[in-house]
Chains A and B, each alone.
Chain A
C-alpha cells in the first residue's frame, strides 16, 4: 500500500533516533529506580539491560510488520482482524495512549507542585502546556519531530549532572551481583515498562518517514542511547544511595540533583525540574498527535477538532487527580496496562499478522 502522504510532510530517517529516544526518556527517569530496587535491590541494572534487549526485539518485530504492510497500526489491525474488530483494537490502543499522556502530564505537574511551587494550581499550568501542545500538533508532524529533536538536544547538559554523585558513591553497594533469582528479575521488568515505553508510537508515524526501511537502525540506536543512559543513572543511584533509602524515596534522581554545587546557583534541582518541562513537551505532543491521527483514520473526522476534544478530556482528568495517592494509583494502573500492551500485545499482534500473511499468501 503506497502511502498517500505528500513528500513535503515526510521526515528524514535520521530523526527517528530522536523520536524514539525522546519519547522513552521522560517522566520515568525521575522515579524508576524505586520500583526496581524494591524487588531486585542491587541487581536493578541487570533488569535494565534485559528490558533494553527485549525492547530491541520488540522494535524489530514492529519493523518487520510495518515494512511488509507499509502502513500504520490502524491498517495492520484492519488487515489482521478485519475492519470492525481491527478498528476496535485500534481504538483501545488510542485510549491507552490518551491515558498515558495524562499520566505524563500529571506526574510532571506533581513534581512541580512538590519541588517548586506548593501552591500551584493544576489547571492553569495544564492549560498552558496543552495550549502549547495544540500549537505544536496543529502545525503537522514535521514540527512535532522538530520539537522532539530540540528537546533531546537542548537538555543534553543534564546528562553531565549524572556524573556528579560518582565522587560520593560507594560502588561496593553493587555487590553481590546476581543475588536475586531470574523470576525476581522478570517481576521487576514490570516496573520498568513505563520507563522504556515510547517506542510503540513508531506504529503511528511509520508512514511519515522517508525511506522507512532505512530508519530501523536509527530506532535501534535510539533505544541503545536510552538503555545506556538508564544504566548510567541506575548504577550511580545504586552506588550513591543505600537500599533502605531507595525503598522509600519517590524521586531518587531529583534527590541526586540536590548535591550539585555550581557557583551561580545554590539549588540545582530547580533548574533541573524547569528543564524537565522542555523534555516532557515532545512526549505529550507526539501522544496527542498519534491519538488524534488514529481517531481521524478510524472515524474519518477532522484531526483538528479531534485534537481539541482530546486536549479537553486530558485537562479534565488531570484536574481530577488531586493528591499523591490517586496519582500513584493511576500511574500503577496505567503502568500495568502498559506492560501487558507492550510486552504482551505486540508479540501477539506480530504472530497474528504473520499467520494472516501466510494464510493470504497460500
Chain B
C-alpha cells in the first residue's frame, strides 16, 4: 500500500513546470532565479549557453524592471518582442527552452509562463565557396545557419510562389530541414516524394545534409550520387527556376538538389556565366576527362598484358623499353601506383595545411621520380596514372570525383582478367547500373535514355540562352516555357 502512495506524488510532480525546472537545474548552465526588487516580482529561467546575453540585458530585464504587470499578458505587452508565447504545454516549453528562449513566471509554482526567444545567432560569415569556386560569377556560399541560407535563396527569388516546407528530423538532433520549391513550376510528384521520404525518416542524428542524401536515396548501394549537393545559392536559385526541389538542413552548409540526371554531374554553374561556346567546350572536355580517367589505366594494363599487337609500332620501342627492367606484371605496377596516389591524397587531407604542402611536393615529385629510378614502375605508367588522377577532379561535383576514383578499380581488375574484353564487360555492367538507377523516381540516364532530344541542349553542350526557351523535360514541370519563343525570335528585316 505504501508503494502505491509513494508512486503517485512522484508522477504528479514530474508533470509540472516546477519539477521540470528542477530537473534542468542539474545542468550547470541552467540559470533560474527570482527577481524580488522590481515593482512585480517574477521568476526567470534560461540556458545560459543558449541565449544571447545582450538580448537579456538590453531587451528583457530593463523592461521587466520598469513596468508593473499583474499577469502574463502584461509581461507580453511590456516586452518589445513580437512573438512572446504564453503557454503551459510542457512539451512546447521544453522545446523552446532548448532552442534558446527565456522563461518568465510570475510565481515559482505557476504552470503558465511566458517564453521569449533570445537565442544566440552565431554562425560563420558568408564567404567564398570552397569546392565550387568560380572565377566569374557571384562568390557567396551557404553557411551553417538555415535562416541565413533561406535568406540567401529568397534574395534571388523574390516571388510569392517560392514555398518552404519545414520538417524536424532526428530524435536526438531535432534538425530543422526545409524543402524549397516553386509552386506552379515544380511537378507536385517530386515535392510529394521528397516530403514523404523525409517524414518517413527514422534516424537519431542528422548532422549534415549529406546524411539525409544517403538516407533518402533511391539506391543506397550505388556509388553514384542521386542528389547533387551544392554550396552556392545562385545554383540553388537556378535549379529552382528549372523545376527542381531543394533540401536545406540546419547546421549544414550544403543544399541538396533533386531529381538529377547524370549530365547534372558534369555541369558547373559557372557554365552559365561564360559564353556558350566556351561552356560547351569545357563540358566536352569534362566528359572526355572523366572517360579518360576511368579507362586509361585499364587500357594500359590490358594492352601490355594481352594485346601487344595493338601498340602502334612507333610507340612500341618506348613502351617495351620502359617496361624492360620492371619485375612486376603491369597490373601490380598499376595497383601500386594507384594506391600510392590514394595514400598521398588521404595523407594530404588529414595533415594541417602547412605540413600538407610539403607532403604534396615530396610525394608528387620525389616519390614519383624515385620510383621510376628504382625500377619499380615505368615512367609511361606514372604519367598515365598522374593524369588520370588529375582528370578525376575535373568534375564540378565533389562526390563524382570520389566515384571515379573508385570506379577505376573494377575496370583494372577486369582488364587484367580478360584484357580489352574485360573492359567491355565492365563497361556493360556500368551501363546497366546507370540504366537502372533512379533519382527521386526519375531515370538517371536522361536525356540519353529515354532519349529526349530537347534536353540535349543543356547537357553535353550548352546552347545559347535564346535557344533555351523550354525547361528540362525530365523534370516534368507544370509550366514548360521559360520565355515566349515567338517574341524572342522576332527578327527585323534588313533596314527595317
Contact = CB atoms under 8 A, between A and B. Distances in A.
A116 B421 contact: yes
Contact of A149 (B307, B418, B436, B451): B451
Interface in B411-428: 418-421, 423-425, 427-428
A117 to B, nearest CB: 7
A136 B451 CA distance: 18
B312 A278 contact: no
Q: For this complex, into which size category does the number of interface residues on chain A fall?
A: 20 to 34
A128 interface: yes
A143 B312 contact: no
Interface string A121-155: 00001001100100110010001001101100000
A274 B425 CA distance: 9
A274 B427 CA distance: 11
B429 A274 contact: no
A136 to B, nearest CB: 5
A14 B450 CA distance: 10
Given A14-B451, A277-B425, A278-B428, A266 B309 contact: yes
Q: Determine the main DSSP class of B at the interface with A.
A: helix
A116 B419 contact: yes
B429 A135 contact: yes
A271 interface: yes
B445 interface: yes
B311 A266 contact: yes
A277 B429 contact: no
A176 interface: no
A138 B435 CA distance: 12
Contact of B310 (A150, A263, A267, A281): A267
A31 interface: no
B421 A274 contact: yes
Contacts of B57: none
A169 interface: no
Contact of B424 (A135, A264, A278): A278
Contact of A143 (B310, B429, B432): B432
Interface string B303-342: 0001101111100000000000000000000000000000
Nearest to A276: B424
A150 B428 CA distance: 10
A271 B419 contact: no
Nearest to A149: B449
B431 interface: yes
Interface in A205-242: none
Contact of A147 (B418, B424, B432): B432
B448 interface: yes
A143 B435 contact: yes
Nearest to B307: A270
Contacts of B445: 146
Given A116-B419, A116-B421, A275-B424, A270 B432 contact: no
A260 to B, nearest CB: 12
B196 to A, nearest CB: 17
A93 B97 CA distance: 74
A311 interface: no
A129 B414 CA distance: 13
Nearest to A120: B418
B436 A143 contact: yes
A67 interface: no
B449 A128 contact: no
A12 interface: yes
A132 B421 contact: no
A339 to B, nearest CB: 31
- Of B419, B421, B436, most buried by chain A (CB within 10 Å of CB) is B421
Contacts of B448: 150
A281 B448 CA distance: 18
Interface string A257-290: 0000001111100110111011001000000000
A117 B309 contact: no
A112 B424 CA distance: 13
B310 A266 contact: yes
Interface in B398-455: 418-421, 423-425, 427-429, 431-433, 435-436, 445, 448-451
Contact of A117 (B312, B419, B449): B419
Nearest to A285: B432
B310 A270 contact: yes
A279 B457 CA distance: 27
Contacts of B423: 274
Interface in A99-124: 112, 116-117, 120
B425 A150 contact: no
Interface in A1-26: 12, 14-15
Nearest to B450: A12
Contacts of B311: 266
Contacts of B424: 274-275, 277-278
B428 A281 contact: yes
Contact of B435 (A147, A265, A267): A147
A132 B310 contact: no
A270 B309 contact: yes
A323 B322 CA distance: 40
B312 A263 contact: yes
B421 A265 contact: no
A339 B213 CA distance: 54
A117 B425 contact: no
B421 A277 contact: yes
Contact of A265 (B310, B425, B427): B310
A271 B419 CA distance: 11
A117 B418 contact: yes
A150 B451 contact: no
A265 B448 CA distance: 29
- Of B419, B432, B450, most buried by chain A (CB within 10 Å of CB) is B432
Contacts of B421: 112, 116-117, 125, 273-274, 277
Given A149-B449, A266-B313, A270-B420, A135 B425 contact: no
Contacts of A150: 431, 435, 448-449
A340 B306 CA distance: 43
- Of A117, A149, A274, most buried by chain B (CB within 10 Å of CB) is A274
Contacts of A15: 450-451
Nearest to A128: B425
A147 B431 CA distance: 8
Nearest to B315: A264
B312 to A, nearest CB: 6
Nearest to A8: B441
A277 B450 contact: no
Contacts of B428: 132, 277-278, 281
Interface in B444-485: 445, 448-451
A333 B382 CA distance: 53
A270 B432 CA distance: 23
A274 B420 contact: yes
Contact of B427 (A12, A116, A270, A278): A278
Nearest to B423: A274
21 contacts: A12-B450, A14-B451, A112-B421, A116-B420, A125-B421, A132-B425, A132-B428, A135-B433, A136-B432, A136-B435, A139-B436, A146-B445, A150-B448, A264-B312, A265-B312, A266-B313, A271-B310, A271-B420, A273-B421, A275-B424, A277-B425
Given A15-B450, A128-B425, 13 more contacts: A12-B450, A132-B432, A146-B435, A146-B449, A147-B431, A150-B431, A150-B435, A150-B449, A265-B310, A266-B311, A266-B313, A267-B309, A278-B424
Interface of B: 306-307, 309-313, 418-421, 423-425, 427-429, 431-433, 435-436, 445, 448-451
Per CB-CB distance, the 9 closest pairs between chain A and chain B, nearest first, are: A146-B435, A146-B449, A274-B420, A277-B424, A139-B436, A274-B424, A267-B309, A265-B310, A143-B435
